[in-house]
Structure 1
């Protein structure tokens, strides 16, 4: 719902004909304290009302000039959403289909008064029959209606509809930061907006339905008592301990474990950086790695010893990536044979800009084909690595990712903190599993959904590995989850030498209505997996759902506990008044909200044969939030769930690369004209996931499942790929 005030006060232009509207969300919930109205400000993106299509295209071109890739997908409207358009010379509304030729070139056939067919251009038609002289006949026409009916309208005579149309496509790299700035409002300002909107609605007086049932709305916010969990101490190299303050800790130039005999190889993509600029920056990065304990192989300790390659991504056929990776690996094998040592190699790709096609190609070659660790760096990120390596935060942050990919450990949680000793007991080992399912964009009806199962492989829950699988589109439940769970159990045993006595599953991406159905199905799959491994195996099992997409927010009144403009401090737990009266759930804000209003994670424990107490659940979850390897701060959800998100995201690149690009041999790719990629993309997905069946039919579903199974066989991570490749 939008406030009654002028819409311009609550709308924000984010570019390319799109604006963000801020309104109020409300829902009635049954809580321990009784019926409550959950209200929050909510921001959604919409197409501008009654905007001339010419202005719409001009706004897109402005984005293109700022650096966005020029291609058909960026300069065209979203054909899949079928935007509603309004003609300026009449009150007719039609759906957008596509773009035609210029109005003075586009011809069509019509019947004359004598019944004879004749051709004329769109410009001639509007001059002769509509008495409209086009000012811009060289602009392309807009095709409306349906693809079978060729209705062409000059662009200057078409506006976006004056009726509300929500944007469902992905925002580009320029729109997303603007939307984040709109949404990132401080807690007190957020609550002021909620109060203003609720008072403007005044539902209790104006709603006859509520009035007839004698229901009144108290517009005062609920005051709660929360607890702040103690921050854990973290363990670094040689048992060195470090305190956490407000969810952040200093790196102290050391990590728990760093790899040895490391060899970096660098591939410069599309001449992203000159060597004179590359050399000092990469030297700083290597020095920072050594400060944290990383040791390089003999002969590769300096920038001069790092193998350097060039790759032109625009000429894939004549200059493919795969032979360069093979050349680097061959040199490594020779080094291992001559020195009789096992090395840890990594390829670092320097790219000029973010490009999903290049990134996906790199990850497919390194992760699936050749089994080598890889790290993609923007050239502007590398150039920030200058000066003193001890103080270069950018180099430190990149090192954290590189260290994890090379099987290092950045930090652990001290066993004496937060009852962590109970969950890291070697005599009764605990296996932590994170499960997530991600879906394609709402307008994409053909792409598969991706499920990831991530689990710890050591007792201290610092290292993780994953299994992912593809399944038919839009299915929140994981089909045939037995094999991924078996892989996780086997992997834990192989790496730790222990059989887990306790299994804790963190599940994301489940709505309230699917709680029981999803839990029963997945716990049944777990039971089958355990029986297949050992019929007598019977560990305790706990199953908890984590939700982030909710509208519960907190702010602190007193200055003593307030952080970052009245945000709650990390470790804040709320488990009374606003929680469910029927099941055990709690809210935990485990991170420092530096920008905007902190959003706590909502934990719902659906099954627990371990019989943990509320304190143990909350402290376990909080401790796991300090084991995310990408940064030196606690994060908003436990590490297993965060890694499951990353694994799904990486698998999406595998899928896109596999389906978009013609399979290659060692000689390289077949040449594909970039303008044909969109057509190829649509054709392949339609043939793979729809076939000749009608949308939504059972035949379509079976075909989608069959193709997903085939893709699962085709997209497999190489055995030599590091286990935490997805970070």
Structure 2
């Protein structure tokens, strides 16, 4: 078995409990846990017995079983005690929980199981109470807690917030739109600030038989029509088209295509559109690394199956992403409807921060952190920065430098683009932090808030800071009491706020369901205000959070968490694009594991060294959209 395959198998199988099938001197009824797989086969692994003699594992079991092993060359399992067991003598008892990432081919089944309509979900929760029999538990009784199953679910009063008005380009037939249940459409609307595409090229990584010249031309025509509808100017209606082999060196292929474009037009392309095959994740990573890190050109990837004979709606959605990547702005909240955000006397910067950790079972891999902040007065245009830190550390270590970078970009934009001469520095800083559990709130206040204050002090500015934690992983669900209060999916309507009964008795928190339901039961976001120098009241913070859920550039729907937090989440998961695909850092499931601490630190250092910064061209743009 090749070493890479052995490690891949080890990674999958570590932690699984096994039973041994042989009966001998020590019959064990309790399962044993697999620690790792051996490098060699049973006939090549030797150990010293208590009497000082040396024998191989195969000889030992031949003596124990009174027969030779059937597969003496196969590798062995090492269990916790260090004992080596041949694979043929082990069985895996059924019904074990897999504490690892769900494999891609099983994700669909999990999602189908998880998407229950609100009524069915409520029914299964109610039925589950009698199955779990919480009230009868000895522990619950001793604490004097009773569970009243007959009372049914708790009734709480909720409010539905008015959505913010959204402003599109002045030349739109319909420049202002009011979302209805968290959704609106792009018909008769031009972008607030459309970007221009001077030169572009198309690189296709699908076989020419499957995606031929005609399919490529249809795709180009669809994109040109989509751009025209939203007000984006394309000065090159006949881009260079080239077919490439996805097995080759992607960066060299893209560079060669770029040089060809340069010879034709005497200028570099502004945009590279890449058509990917259905399982082209590796190509995608290489394309993003080339565009965002190596040369600093906007790249837009399309799946061949999606853009083959696609409808206008598809290209409208692609334009939403392309416009912001090229420096445009899709839509802004109408200044009158969100005065908290757009008050000219109080310039406001909104930041979103997140940390992402390696999947269960992976050791030695780092965590990635991201900070995103708006640079414009309308909280619609964002910049991002990401860093590498120790594995599974939740608190962001480099927040001070990251905040300094974002604040500097904000002030530079106000001066250079918005031509402000006074009030360049923000007077309010609203910091949304994602993915922190209740037990870590204190650390956020002690470390991250101090880092923000330190960054402001070093830049000699003094904004009033508000820190809000946004949590989505919790078990609170809301169901409309009357069917007339529900939206089409049976969920509570977008903008539903609950801040009584189920909220904290003395802390400042609320639940906000800011998105319209599509599938299954919607999950509200839980907001906790940890620190508030601005002395906001509940109404203004709730409406501000709801407004920020509407400026997510990729969609014409409000999303479930504020856009800056959503962006921070995307920037974190895109951190692997900063590594050279031809380099030594490996993110695949078969990547090796570090066993001891010193080795893990060495691996972390390697990840830090390999992490390439963004190209200067991409720093002011929303490259992550």
TM range (shorter): 0.7 to 0.9
| Alignment correspondent of 1:175 | 106
SS in 1 for 2:551: coil
| Alignment correspondent of 1:85 | 18
| Alignment correspondent of 2:278 | 353
Describe the shift of the 1:256–1:659 C-alpha distance in structure 2 as closer, same or farther (beyond 3 A): same
| Alignment correspondent of 1:39 | none
C-alpha contact 1:273 1:352 (8 A) present in aligned 2: no
1:596 aligns with 2:554: no
1:405 aligns with 2:341: no
Aligned match of 1:380 in 305, 308, 311?
305
Runs of 5+ consecutive residues of structure 1 not aligned to the other structure = 1-70, 338-342, 387-391, 663-673
C-alpha contact 2:585 2:607 (8 A) present in aligned 1: no
| Alignment correspondent of 2:243 | 310
Distance 1:119 1:215 in 2: 59
| Alignment correspondent of 2:164 | 232
| Alignment correspondent of 1:210 | 140
Describe the shift of the 1:524–1:101 C-alpha distance in structure 2 as closer, same or farther (beyond 3 A): closer
Distance 1:374 1:466 in 2: 17
Runs of 5+ consecutive residues of structure 2 not aligned to the other structure = 416-423
Range 270-279 or range 525-534, more displaced: 270-279
SS in 1 for 2:458: helix
Describe the shift of the 1:493–1:344 C-alpha distance in structure 2 as closer, same or farther (beyond 3 A): farther
Deviation at 1:411, TM superposition (A): 1.4
C-alpha contact 1:187 1:596 (8 A) present in aligned 2: yes
Aligned match of 2:87 in 145, 150, 153?
153
Distance 1:656 1:80 in 2: 29
Distance 1:396 1:602 in 2: 32
C-alpha contact 2:206 2:304 (8 A) present in aligned 1: no
C-alpha contact 2:432 2:469 (8 A) present in aligned 1: yes
1:241 aligns with 2:176: yes
Q: How does 1:358-437 map to 2 (within 5 A)?
A: 358-386=283-311, 392-417=312-337, 420-437=338-355
Describe the shift of the 1:550–1:718 C-alpha distance in structure 2 as closer, same or farther (beyond 3 A): same
1:542 aligns with 2:472: no
| Alignment correspondent of 1:720 | 617
SS in 1 for 2:254: helix
SS in 2 for 1:143: strand
Distance 1:659 1:99 in 2: 28
Deviation at 1:453, TM superposition (A): 0.5
Q: How does 1:191-590 map to 2 (within 5 A)?
A: 191-204=122-135, 206-219=136-149, 220-238=152-170, 240-253=175-188, 254-269=190-205, 271=207, 273-297=211-235, 300-301=236-237, 305-316=238-249, 320-322=250-252, 324-325=254-255, 327-328=257-258, 331-332=261-262, 335=265, 345-386=270-311, 392-417=312-337, 420-497=338-415, 498-534=424-460, 537-590=461-514
| Alignment correspondent of 1:61 | none
SS in 2 for 1:566: coil
Deviation at 1:462, TM superposition (A): 1.0
Distance 1:502 1:330 in 2: 48
Distance 1:109 1:506 in 2: 57
Distance 2:607 2:179 in 1: 44
Deviation at 1:325, TM superposition (A): 2.4
Distance 2:269 2:352 in 1: 27
C-alpha contact 2:394 2:436 (8 A) present in aligned 1: yes
| Alignment correspondent of 2:418 | none
Per-residue Cα deviation, 1:476-516 (whole angstroms, up to 9, x for no partner): 11113211111111101111223211110000121111112
Describe the shift of the 1:109–1:615 C-alpha distance in structure 2 as closer, same or farther (beyond 3 A): closer
Deviation at 1:469, TM superposition (A): 0.8
| Alignment correspondent of 1:144 | 77
SS in 2 for 1:237: coil
C-alpha contact 2:205 2:277 (8 A) present in aligned 1: yes
| Alignment correspondent of 1:60 | none
SS in 2 for 1:599: coil
Deviation at 1:77, TM superposition (A): 5.8
Distance 1:368 1:538 in 2: 33
Deviation at 1:362, TM superposition (A): 1.6
TM-score between both structures, scaled by the size of structure 1: 0.75
Distance 1:543 1:580 in 2: 17
- How many residues align structurally? 597
Distance 2:445 2:477 in 1: 27
Distance 2:269 2:346 in 1: 32
Distance 1:599 1:197 in 2: 19
Aligned CA-pair RMSD: 3.4
Deviation at 1:598, TM superposition (A): 0.7
Deviation at 1:149, TM superposition (A): 6.0
C-alpha contact 1:127 1:133 (8 A) present in aligned 2: no
C-alpha contact 1:544 1:603 (8 A) present in aligned 2: yes
Distance 1:562 1:442 in 2: 38
Describe the shift of the 1:95–1:357 C-alpha distance in structure 2 as closer, same or farther (beyond 3 A): farther
| Alignment correspondent of 1:166 | 97
SS in 2 for 1:309: strand
Per-residue Cα deviation, 1:683-707 (whole angstroms, up to 9, x for no partner): xx74xxx7xxx43xxx678657755
Per-residue Cα deviation, 1:45-94 (whole angstroms, up to 9, x for no partner): xxxxxxxxxxxxxxxxxxxxxxxxxx948983634733222344556544
Deviation at 1:467, TM superposition (A): 1.0
Deviation at 1:374, TM superposition (A): 0.8
Distance 1:193 1:466 in 2: 42
Per-residue Cα deviation, 1:611-631 (whole angstroms, up to 9, x for no partner): 111110010000000000111
C-alpha contact 2:364 2:600 (8 A) present in aligned 1: no
C-alpha contact 1:243 1:249 (8 A) present in aligned 2: yes
Deviation at 1:350, TM superposition (A): 1.2
Distance 1:153 1:704 in 2: 31
| Alignment correspondent of 2:421 | none
